[in-house]
Structure 1
Amino acid sequence: MSHDLVIAGRALVALEGAAPTFADVEIAVSDGRIAAIAPEGAALDAAHRIQLHSDEVLLPGLVDTHVHVNEPGRTEWEGFASATRAAAAGGVTTIIDMPLNSIPPTVTPEALELKRTAARHQAAVDVGFWGGAVPANLGSLRALHDAGVFGFKAFLAPSGVDEFPHLDAAGLDAALDELAAFDGLLLVHAEDPGVLDAAANAGGTAYDTYVESRPDEAEVVAISRVIAGVRRTGTRAHILHLSSAAALPELRAARAEGLPITVETCPHYLTLASETIPDGGTQFKCAPPIRGEANRDALWQALRDGDIDLVVSDHSPATADLKFAGHGDFAQAWGGIAGVQLGLAAVWTAAVEREVPLTDVVRWMSTSPAAFAGLPHKGLIAVGRDADLVVFAPDERFTVHAQELLHKNPVSAYDGAELRGVVRRTLLRGATPGAGELPSREET
């Protein structure tokens, strides 16, 4: 049998339901799917063949379930063309777009269709969509669910944009009740507004002052409220971008209780630390904030222990004038880290230092996000899966230059950093990225 493509070399493969492991193999691709996996030397026949170099390994494409594309409405911050090209360059073959900061936000079926129209002929990789849960659309979430969103994002504190208001305590309860009726999923930006109000300060250029304005307690209190709501309703909930390790004990207990709660963190929380962020370094501003080294160590331990499920980028870019507004004043600068292109290299660099194997990094950034989102053809190199593949040189190093990154605005928290691990080639369904599809929940 002749195939479209065969890739030969060392690959992270999942054979016959076993855990993924590295093996020297030949992988055959037909019609965009993995058709066969054989020992290297089997000489599988194909129209095209790729032989990996000795310093390369083949990984499944990453699945990034937390990306803010911002088109339409704020395309100058980021658009589908630039975001998906940057994703592909970083080894990401599927993204799921957040419902803000586009205008309109994805809170109605009509707004979802605007998103799909904007992405349809621009996406270099596959793009799915989250919906939003805001006060105005409570009671009508089922229509957006039926239109194909993968779940619903809500803020428990102000989001930063007026068109996406947060849910108060009653709103959170109402959303959980509504989603329970059709087994919907609620994604939560969990910071408590009362704690944030009490901790508010005048800002300034000192990063520690910014962290003080968003203390650990804000996450702990908000997550406790989510846990109580899940316990009451049984609704599935997901904690977005966990920053504070102080919330881990209660999350660990809730999950041990059997509550359907999943947790993600982000590369910047695993690789950066407040002690090294310079005064006026507003390119590092995000919410919740990057905390200290001991907190970072605890997040790594939680990943190893299985208390955190996913590592995703929370790619949240803005224009340079917004990121550097106020000349280094953290109270005035826009928050958000643009990281979809650098997540794999950043996490792998830190993982090597901690003697964490590449198999774990791939599980956190590909296999588990695919399973979480309900994408059964993504996240593994296995027969029948999409041939979304990454040729990765794990030992090659490079220096980040923000001006060379492919997302729309040249701002990066990693500018000047030396990272380990280079994506040399990305394949989407066995081909060069450029013909991304728009999967929806109904297709999973």
Structure 2
Amino acid sequence: MPGIIDPHVHTCEPGHMALESYSSATKAAAAGGVTTLVAMPLSCLSPATTLANFDDKLQSAEGQCHVDVAFWGGVVPGNQDELLSMLQAGVPGFKCSLIASGVEEFPHVSLQDLHMAMNELQGTDCVLLFHAEQELGQWKPALEDPTEYRALLDSRPDAMEVEAIQAIADLCLQYKVPCHILHLSSAQALPIIRKARQKGAPLTIETAHHYLTLTSERIPPGGTYYKCCPPIRAKTNQEQLWSALQEGLIDMVVSAHNPSSPDLKLLADGDFFKAQGGIASLQFGLPLFWTSAKAKGFSLHDVVQLMCKNPASLIRLDDRKGALCPGMDADLVIWDPDKEFEVKKNMIQHKNQLTPYLGFQLCGEIIATLVHGRLVYLKGKFSPKPEGVLLVTQRKMSTRVSSAPYY
């Protein structure tokens, strides 16, 4: 099959290498049949919100990557003058957040910031990615036991996503800048998305494996390793997300891989409010999706559409990624869709092996992964030399990472 493309991965270099390095992230990717990942801009020091910071990020990745890696830039208040230079440097688009990101160096944007950014990006064909939650003016969650997941869920109601996505849809229609909703969790926003598309909004949507696999009803007290934002919602909501996938209203399924160490998850305290958010799943995306999807009538062709072709289009690499055709990169995953296995700690390649999927019985074992026709993973073993390429355009204004292979 074409190699999986995961456009939503948090790598933590430079600055937080203990959480996830390019080496560990791309090994996990290779073990999961992912041949291209796209690094988010904010989980490192400093975030990729300026050309100089982006250069630092590239330099930290050079020579480490076992699969191909592309990079998103970031939009924060006041950096609109940096956007075109980063676009020229090779980012396919920019992430922003409408709510506090949890990263001090990556503050959330206002509507005024977005007007300025979209005005700058009109006509460039880049995409603007949104963490689509925003604070509610009058919302006051009930005070509950912070070790109960219900308390966290009540503090981030569906309305936070619904209001944010309505604002994004309006901006998308106004400026016609391609917009992408990251990790959609609330099915209540689907009618807004459908209506905006009917009006011609260039709007795409992703959801994440944890929203399709996990449900709020089954999260144990103190199980902070389940914490993510937006939160995991109820089973009825999950079924609506699956229906939206079948309808084509949701375009792709991603890991939204966001690693965290046990100390940052506060496992001893079990406080959902204080624990760091994020779920690690990069290595298991394909079997996680296939295990549930095949029971719902999805085909292998649907897997390719949702996890290869559509992500390749999002990152503006559909001319060489996401399909098995003459002239395309020879990025392949060889896997057995009928082979069952148990997720065990010793098989996990993420630097931090904390994940809610430990002990899960999944269907679809990865046998081998090839990048550019070169074997990078085979039955638990990796190529001794990282074979991945940094997927950015060559530019004249900087030669700091000129030894890296570029497209």
Normalising by structure 1, report the TM-score. Answer: 0.84
Q: Match for 1:435 among 376, 384, 387?
A: 387
Q: What are the superposed Cα offsets for residues 13-57 of structure 1, whole Å, 9 maximum, x if unpaired?
A: xxxxxxxxxxxxxxxxxxxxxxxxxxxxxxxxxxxxxxxxxxxxx
1:107 and 1:321 mapped to 2: Cα distance?
28
* Counterpart-to-counterpart distance in 2, 1:200 and 1:148: 45
Structure 2, unaligned runs of 5 or more: 377-385, 395-405
Change (3 A) 1:185 1:203: farther
Corresponding residue for residue 383 of structure 1: 326
* In 2, Cα distance between equivalents of 1:203 and 1:214: 15
- Report the residue type matching 1:229 in the other structure: L
Q: Normalization by structure 2: what TM-score? A: 0.92
More strand by share: 1
Q: Matched residue of 2:373: which SS? A: coil
**Preserved CA contact (<8 Å) 1:105 1:132:** yes
1:425 paired with 2:377, answer: no
The answer to whether the 8 A contact 2:173-2:200 is kept is no
**CA displacement at 1:441 relative to structure 2:** 5.6
Aligned mates of 2:160, 2:114 — CA distance in 1: 16
Q: How does 1:322-401 map to 2 (within 5 A)?
A: 322-325=264-267, 327-375=269-317, 376-401=319-344
Q: What corresponds to 2:2 in structure 1? A: 60
Structure 1 residues 234 and 203: alpha-carbon distance in aligned structure 2, compared to 1, 3 A threshold: farther
- AA aligned opposite 1:386: D
For 1:11-410, list aligned pairs within 5 A: 59-194=1-136, 198-199=140-141, 201=143, 204-325=146-267, 327-375=269-317, 376-410=319-353
Cα deviation for residue 195 of structure 1 reads 5.4
Q: CA deviation at 1:267?
A: 0.7
Q: Residue type of the partner of 2:66? A: A
Separation of aligned partners in 2, 1:223 and 1:232: 14
1:201, 1:213 within 8 Å by CA — same for their partners in 2? no
SS of match in other structure, 2:84: helix
Distance (Å, rounded) in 2 between the aligned partners of 1:197 and 1:321 = 30
1:363 to partner: Cα distance: 1.2
Identity among equivalent pairs (%): 45
How far apart in 2 are the matches of 1:114 and 1:335? 25
Instruction: Note the alpha carbon deviations across 1:214-255, whole angstroms, 9 max, x for none.
Output: 110000000000111112111111000000000000100101
Please identify the structure whose Cα radius of gyration is greater.
Answer: 1
Structure 2 residue matching 1:392: 3-state secondary structure: strand
Q: Which runs of 4+ in 1 moved over 4 A?
A: 200-203, 441-444
Letter in structure 1 aligned against 2:322: G
What is the RMSD of the two structures over their aligned residues, measured on CA atoms?
1.6
1:196/1:215 contact within 8 Å kept: no
8 Å Cα contact 1:326-1:332 kept in structure 2: no
C-alpha separation in 2, matches of 1:182 and 1:363: 25
Residue equivalent to 1:24: none
Segment of structure 1 superposing worse, 419-428 or 400-409: 400-409
Q: C-alpha displacement at 1:168, in angstroms?
A: 1.4
Task: Work out whether residues 87 and 93 of structure 2, in 8 Å CA contact, stay in contact via their aligned partners in 1.
Answer: yes
**Structure 1 unpaired stretches of 5+:** 1-58
Letter in 2 for 1:165: P
Greater mean alpha carbon deviation, residues 262-271 or residues 166-175: 166-175
SS of the residue aligned with 1:427? strand
> How far did residue 181 of structure 1 move?
4.9
> Contact 2:291–2:364 (CA<8 Å) still a contact in 1?
yes
Shift of 1:200: 7.5
Instruction: Tell me the distance in 1 between the aligned counterparts of 2:21 and 2:117.
Output: 29
Answer with 199-208 or 378-387: which moved more. Answer: 199-208
Distance in 2 of aligned mates of 1:242 and 1:438: 28
* Cα displacement (A) at 1:328: 1.0
Q: Which residue of 2 aligns with 1:27?
A: none
How many angstroms apart in 2 are the aligned matches of 1:438 and 1:93? 12
1:302-321 residue CA offsets vs partner (Å, 9 max, x unmatched): 11111011111101001111
Structure 1 position 127, deviation (Å): 0.4
**Against the structure 1 CA distance between its residues 347 and 173, is the aligned structure 2 distance closer, same or farther, given a 3 Å change threshold?**
same
Q: Give the Å deviation of 1:140.
A: 2.7
Cα pair 2:77 2:109 within 8 Å, conserved? yes
Q: CA deviation at 1:182?
A: 3.0
Contact 2:78 2:113 in 1 (8 A): no
| 1:238–1:261 Cα contact (<8 Å) kept | yes
Q: Which amino acid aligns with 1:128?
A: A
